[in-house]
Amino acid sequence: MTRVWAKRGTRPRAPRDQRYEWAYLFGAVRPERRAAAALVMPTANAEVMSPHLAEIARNVAPGAHAALILDGAGHPIAEKLKAPPNITLVPPPPHAPELNPMENVWECLRGARPAIAAFDDYEDILDAACDAWMLLENDKERIATIAARSWATVNI
């Protein structure tokens, strides 16, 4: 069943695609370095988040340590994660998505088409997710602009 606008008293047909396949985009940005890292995975759980953390760890400068703000939606996943030695996982406070710079990134990507489109097959879903991320990752100024938080800079 679905809902459509129709003249009162009529029962129009409303065909709807009921096939569902999902891809999950795991992403992280470092606005000051204009750097980004992401993986597209078939599920969202601690097992598939580990390769994402390894990818982020590879992008951390030698001798540096990263504080990674987690997404509050994945709280049960976060409890099972084991972070690489050069990453500290920081849980967000409840009901405060504005504190997570990635929320701006996700908002930007939702406007880039893939969130509201229908795809022919799973490969098209993966391609759309990767294309949207690469559009962002190749625009270094956009990363710096949408994900920067003036209060989050560290002056050492």
Name the more confident of 121 and 20: 121
pLDDT tens for each residue of 40-98: 988 888 888 888 899 899 988 899 999 888 876 665 666 778 899 999 988 888 788 77
Give the CA count within 13 Å in the CB-facing half-sphere of 40: 15
Multiple choice CATH, 24-147, 3.30.110, 1.10.287, 3.30.70, 3.30.420: 3.30.420
**End-to-end C-alpha distance for the chain, whole angstroms:** 58
Residue-range domain boundaries for the chain? 24-147
Residue 1 has pLDDT above 60, yes or no: no
What is the rounded CA–CA span in Å between residue 102 and residue 87? 17
Q: What is the pTM of this model?
A: 0.73
The label of the residue with tokens 């996943």 reads: 77
Average pLDDT over the chain, rounded to an integer: 82
